[in-house]
Structures are given as C-alpha cells and as structure tokens.
C-alpha cells in the first residue's frame, strides 16, 4: 500500500490535515474498503471513510500497550453474546487500570449504532479501551481521558466441520494476571500462532509449568475423555472464554441425550489430554474447530468426531436463534 523510498529521495512534508487526508484517501481509492465502519471517541463519532480509521500515535495503547479489547460475532444482523463480552471487557479494563470515557450502557449503544451504520450483517465487531492519547511516557498520568475505539469486520464465516492439526508451543505463556484479561499485549500469542504455522499446524497449545493444558493463542481447548466426559481446562490461569462458557452451559443437553457422560472444567495434564477421544479449539469465530492431530499424533481415530460436531451444532444454533442475540436496528 505504501511507496518505496530510496535513500536519496526527499520525503514529502504535508503541512495541512487536508493534504494528509487526500493522500490517505488516494491510498484507498482503488481498493475495496475492508472495514465499513469505525467509532472513535477521539473523533466523537462513527466514520465510514477508511482513510479516517486511524489512531493517534501518542495513544498509550499504541506505544505502551496500555489497553484492552473484546469482540462479538455478528450473524444474520444480530450481535451474539454482546453483553457477556462487554462485561468481560470492563473486567479486563479494571484489571489493566484503564478507565472508560462513557458508562457501560453508552458503550453498548455506540457498538450497536456503529454496527447499524455499517450495514454489515455477518462478521464481527471489535472494540478497545485505551488509557488514551497524551504523551510518550510510560505512565498514563499525562493522558487527559481514556479512549474508546471500535470497528466492524465483515466475514463470511460458517461452522468449522473439518479437522486441523495442533502443536505444543515453546513460546512461554502469559502469567495469570495478563492471561486472565483480554489486553492488547499479544506478542506471546502472535509468536505462538507463528510457531504453529511454521510447523504446519492451525494453532498451538500452551502447557503450564506444572504440565497442565492451558489454552491456545486465541481460543480455549476442549476434550472428550475416554469416559465420554467433556472437559475444558480450568479458567484460573487462562482467559475465561465467553464461547467456552456458553459451550459448558449448552453441553448438558448431550448428557441428557446419552451422548456425553458429564461436562466440566478441571486441570488436565498433557498426557491425559492426548488420550482423548476428541479434541477441539473453541472460540467466537469458530465456534468449535475439531483437532485431529496434536504434536504429530492422532487424537482418537485421527478424524473429526461426532461429539465435537454435535457440540458445534449446539453453539451454531444458539448463535442463530438463541436468547442472547441483539437485533441491530439497520435503517
């Protein structure tokens, strides 16, 4: 998107905002806008022009990582589990000592209005709280007010019914203080997913110092044990996934149907986990992605199992017609 600058080239100087905006708009002129709407509390409104979807460079989330974020899926013009995600968002902000420029109901209203303005009916929204712009120091005491940003991300996603490979990563996992909040310090997550991709896998799995399975770089992990129980690792040292918690709430239906023997969370060792009949990554955009191979060894029969597909069906139906859906008031 940028132009190559030779050492002897004179770098342009844009003296006015109008000149800079013109250059930004030229950048997007021949490209379909990837994001139909963004909200910025710095601008005080929703913008539809991708050239204006920018953050101040002195924002402490940009240069110090002092910020938190969360998401919500958008399906058939409805935001799924917006409120549980928004609640976690504010818990993360409290842990990170990041304030908010608006009360919770105003944040929620902004997100719904932004989604409506986008016209997008399938994809996701992502939103951030930052300690805000101010200076380039470490402390956020020089930031006059926190900032709130959000964006709509179109995506034609569907249920994941294929199987993928996983690997155990050597990238150190975050300590619980950081792992249990959804903050923007994602370098371990980025390195972890890159590690997996370089080894031909979809994603990696973190294992803690005691040998217990933790989570993936952007997902929780679920197992069906040889006894037929659905088990997820305890959330005491990892992020409490909203989709994972919803899965735990819906899965007893399969117990009632005689397909599972139980549902719960516990500390599970790698050795135990690798004897599972089935395994899956669990996250908002999946919502259940079967894992058929881990560290080069098959999980169960090495193919997608019926139980993870049944759990995926439960979550997908909940996303399409469940009780926790917010209708977007499109014009």
User: Does residue 280 contact residue 222 with C-beta atoms inside 8 Å?
Assistant: yes
Q: Which residues are catalytic, by number?
A: 182
The bridge status of strand 229-233 relative to strand 38-40 is: unpaired
Q: Which long-range contacts (CB under 8 A, 24 or more apart) does 228-232 make?
A: 228/259, 228/260, 228/261, 228/262, 228/277, 229/260, 229/261, 229/262, 229/263, 229/264, 230/254, 230/260, 230/262, 230/263, 230/264, 230/307, 230/311, 231/264, 231/265, 231/266, 231/268, 232/264, 232/265, 232/282
Instruction: For residues 131 and 147, give the distance between their C-alpha atoms in angstroms, rounded to a whole number.
Output: 6
The bridge status of strand 288-294 relative to strand 278-282 is: antiparallel
Question: Closest by alpha carbon to 66, among 109, 98, 42?
Answer: 98
């Amino acid at each position: 998107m940028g132009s190559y600058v030779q050492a002897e080239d004179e770098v342009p100087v844009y003296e006015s905002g109008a000149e800079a905006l013109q250059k930004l708009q030229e950048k997007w002129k021949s490209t379909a806008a990837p994001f139909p709407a963004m909200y910025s509390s710095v601008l005080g409104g929703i913008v539809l022009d991708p050239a204006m979807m920018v953050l101040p460079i002195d924002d402490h989330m940009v240069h110090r990582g002092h910020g938190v974020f969360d998401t919500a899926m958008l399906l058939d013009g409805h935001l799924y589990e917006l409120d549980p995600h928004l609640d976690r968002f504010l818990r993360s902000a409290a842990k990170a000592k990041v304030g908010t420029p608006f009360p919770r109901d105003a944040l929620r209203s902004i997100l719904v209005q932004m989604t409506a303005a986008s016209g997008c009916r399938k994809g996701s929204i992502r939103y951030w709280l930052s300690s805000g712009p101010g200076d380039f120091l470490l402390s956020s005491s020089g930031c006059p007010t926190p900032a709130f940003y959000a964006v709509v991300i179109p995506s034609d996603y569907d249920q994941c019914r294929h199987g993928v490979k996983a690997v155990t990563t050597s990238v150190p996992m975050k300590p619980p203080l950081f792992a249990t909040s959804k903050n923007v310090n994602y370098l371990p997550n980025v390195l972890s997913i890159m590690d997996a991709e370089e080894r031909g896998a979809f994603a990696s799995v973190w294992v803690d110092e005691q040998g217990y399975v933790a989570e993936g770089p952007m997902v929780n992990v679920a197992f069906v044990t040889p006894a037929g129980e659905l088990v997820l690792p305890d959330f005491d040292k990892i992020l409490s996934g909203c989709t994972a918690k919803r899965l735990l709430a819906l899965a007893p239906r399969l117990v009632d149907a005689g397909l599972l023997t139980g549902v719960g969370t516990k500390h599970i060792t790698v050795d135990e986990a690798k004897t599972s009949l089935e395994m899956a990554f669990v996250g908002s955009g999946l919502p259940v992605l079967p894992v058929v191979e881990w560290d080069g060894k098959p999980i169960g029969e090495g193919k997608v199992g019926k139980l993870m597909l049944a759990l995926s069906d439960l979550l997908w139906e909940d996303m399409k017609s469940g009780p926790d859906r917010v209708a977007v008031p499109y014009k």
